[in-house]
A and B are shown apart, each in its own frame.
Chain A
């Protein structure tokens, strides 16, 4: 038994040292950069800040360009919450019917779901469609686009999970007088909570961190999302590395919070879907 424990310790300590170099040092670099003064930060050295001005930098980032970061956070929040809500509800409904209703059309539907996962979206023609619908450059258009792009992946997860809920439950609810809608929204959907959390968090992190989508479909400062402000900030202000890194730090906080609060459920939900394909 002791040999096993010795090995667990040696392997563990080596892994921890490697992880510090590979993963923690880069993040410490971000924090240190965010705490420096402009001249200190522009040297790009991995060094202790000469003057700690973390709070001052934070205040400066929140005030640059007339506080564009506030508007960007608001835009990103609206975009993320609305599009994820749409994706979750629609994908849950579709995945549920797909898992329960065995017809000859299932093969066709599955083909299109997989196609949605594999095929890269055609960007310029999508802009053309959005312009026709007068949705190009609007937050509403972007919301619908993000909701659509998330559907395939979410449907696959919901379909896999609905398969694990016994049909007898549906039958019992039907005998008790539930109609199709109350069967789904009041009986089945509450049971899908683990996957709902998984899909919601994974989609939210994806939409919040999406860069290419807003770059194509949401031009202009008015609707800029946080990722776009970060990108423009780095291409414009190369003399303010401290503020740039403070910006990165700020933008990492929302996904981190979402993950910390749902860590276990995500792993459980993802694995129940992923392994069954």
Chain B
């Protein structure tokens, strides 16, 4: 209905502005029908928007999927008073910042290396990207074996050199950092790819001019490559932070949030509470995660995009 109306309206405008146009002619705009949005909107509303809005209501209830009792903010009080749940909040922030920061730095230097003159470039590009394709569960199982405290290969090498052999996934102080390291190993290929695209897009004349003016490799990097790949940096920060803050798979398969609760993040708490049948508390976890992600991402996206425009 509305599309035909606007089409008719456009026609009318068209006729007024272009007196010579025939009556049958439609403006080009009506060739981009709004109806193309309809299936997308239906899926988005039913499977994404409604659950997201519903999570706010159900987080305030004791809920069994079939009926729910309104209990106010009790679930949130529980979440922030129970140290086992509260630490997951801290771990989520820690995990997101560490993985995102490391992916930016390592990804950038790998991209500089892989866009420069270097032997075996094709092989290196392929091998850095390969872990991105492997299933997270597979990577988790692989590292659980490699980093096994007693039989694992890494500790065997450390033992050979007489170095201390930490319990990578079993030491409560270390587990979350080990998982973060595995996450970085698996995900740095995407960051590298995006940075490579950003660096390749910088006009070559800039580098040549700088070299003629006598700038060294370090100065070129600092004065040209870094400032001119700001767009790519923004993309990498945003994408890796979104992924890091909601990370679940790799944590669940390697430690399951343990030992104890020392590597639990909000996403794993949501699953544990769901498994235990505390659906209201699980929904509250979702709301907390939603707030964490929004409070961090919205200002960050705004600032990063503004910088990009200024460039």
Q: Please list the residues of chain A having a beta carbon within 8 angstroms of any beta carbon in chain B.
A: 4-5, 7-9, 11-13, 15-16, 19, 22-27, 29-30, 33, 43-46, 90-91, 93-94, 96-97, 100-101, 109, 112, 114, 116-129, 131, 133, 144-145, 147-149, 151, 155, 167, 170-171, 174, 179-180, 183-184, 205, 208-209, 211-212, 215-216, 226-227, 230-231, 234, 241, 244-245, 248, 251-252, 255-256, 259, 267, 270-271, 274-275, 277
Whether A124 contacts B55 by the Cβ 8 Å rule is: yes
Flag B14-41 by CB within 8 Å of A: 1 or 0 each: 0000000000000011111110110110
B301 interface residue (CB < 8 Å to A):
yes
**Contact residues in B for A19 (Cβ distance below 8 Å):** 123-124, 127-128
**Contact residues in B for A30 (Cβ distance below 8 Å):** 138, 142
Can you add 8 more A-B contacts, CB < 8 Å, to A94-B40, A119-B290, A209-B135? A15-B113, A26-B146, A30-B138, A109-B37, A118-B242, A122-B287, A125-B52, A230-B137
Whether A124 contacts B286 by the Cβ 8 Å rule is: yes
Whether B283 contacts A248 by the Cβ 8 Å rule is: no
B6–chain A nearest beta-carbon distance, Å: 10
Cα distance A87–B249 when bound, in Å? 23
Whether B113 contacts A11 by the Cβ 8 Å rule is: yes
Q: Which interface residue of B30, B39, B287 has the most chain A CB atoms within 10 A?
A: B39
The residues in B between 114 and 168 inclusive whose CB is less than 8 angstroms from any CB of A are 116-121, 123-124, 127-128, 130-138, 141-143, 145-146, 148, 151-153, 156
Whether B28 contacts A148 by the Cβ 8 Å rule is: no
Cα distance A8–B31 when bound, in Å? 54
Cα distance A198–B54 when bound, in Å? 34
**Contact residues in B for A171 (Cβ distance below 8 Å):** 28
Cα distance A46–B153 when bound, in Å? 6
Whether B134 contacts A274 by the Cβ 8 Å rule is: no
**Contact residues in A for B234 (Cβ distance below 8 Å):** 277
Q: Please list the residues of chain B having a beta carbon within 8 angstroms of any beta carbon in chain A.
A: 28-34, 36-37, 39-40, 43-44, 46-48, 50-52, 54-55, 58, 63, 65, 113, 116-121, 123-124, 127-128, 130-138, 141-143, 145-146, 148, 151-153, 156, 185, 193-194, 197-198, 200-201, 231-232, 234-235, 242, 245-246, 248-249, 252-253, 267, 270-271, 274, 279, 282-283, 286-287, 289-290, 293-294, 297-298, 301, 305, 308
Q: Which of A7, A101, A122, A277 contacts B235 (CB 8 A)?
A: A277
Whether A13 contacts B119 by the Cβ 8 Å rule is: yes
Whether A122 contacts B290 by the Cβ 8 Å rule is: yes
**Contact residues in B for A179 (Cβ distance below 8 Å):** 31
Cα distance A238–B230 when bound, in Å? 47
Q: Which of A8, A91, A120 contacts B290 (CB 8 A)?
A: A120
Cα distance A39–B39 when bound, in Å? 54
By secondary structure, the A interface counts as helix
Whether B301 contacts A114 by the Cβ 8 Å rule is: yes
Q: Which of B123, B136, B151, B294 contacts A44 (CB 8 A)?
A: B151
By secondary structure, the B interface counts as helix
Q: Which of A4, A45, A149, A209 contacts B151 (CB 8 A)?
A: A45
B195–chain A nearest beta-carbon distance, Å: 10
Cα distance A233–B32 when bound, in Å? 50
B12–chain A nearest beta-carbon distance, Å: 17
**Contact residues in B for A174 (Cβ distance below 8 Å):** 28, 31
**Contact residues in A for B142 (Cβ distance below 8 Å):** 26, 29-30, 245, 248
Whether B138 contacts A252 by the Cβ 8 Å rule is: yes
**Contact residues in A for B58 (Cβ distance below 8 Å):** 124-125, 128
Whether A12 contacts B283 by the Cβ 8 Å rule is: no
Q: Which of B43, B131, B235, B308 contacts A144 (CB 8 A)?
A: B43
**Contact residues in A for B138 (Cβ distance below 8 Å):** 30, 230, 248, 251-252
Question: If A94-B40, A271-B194 touch, does A145 touch B293 (CB 8 Å cutoff)?
Answer: no
Cα distance A129–B44 when bound, in Å? 13
Whether A93 contacts B55 by the Cβ 8 Å rule is: no
**Contact residues in B for A4 (Cβ distance below 8 Å):** 117
Whether A183 contacts B31 by the Cβ 8 Å rule is: yes
Question: If A125-B52, A259-B133 touch, does A33 touch B282 (CB 8 Å cutoff)?
Answer: no
A-B contact pairs, 27 of them (CB 8 A): A9-B119, A11-B113, A19-B124, A23-B127, A45-B156, A90-B40, A93-B37, A97-B32, A100-B32, A101-B29, A109-B37, A117-B242, A118-B294, A120-B267, A122-B51, A124-B279, A128-B51, A131-B65, A145-B47, A148-B43, A151-B43, A180-B33, A183-B31, A211-B248, A248-B138, A270-B193, A275-B235
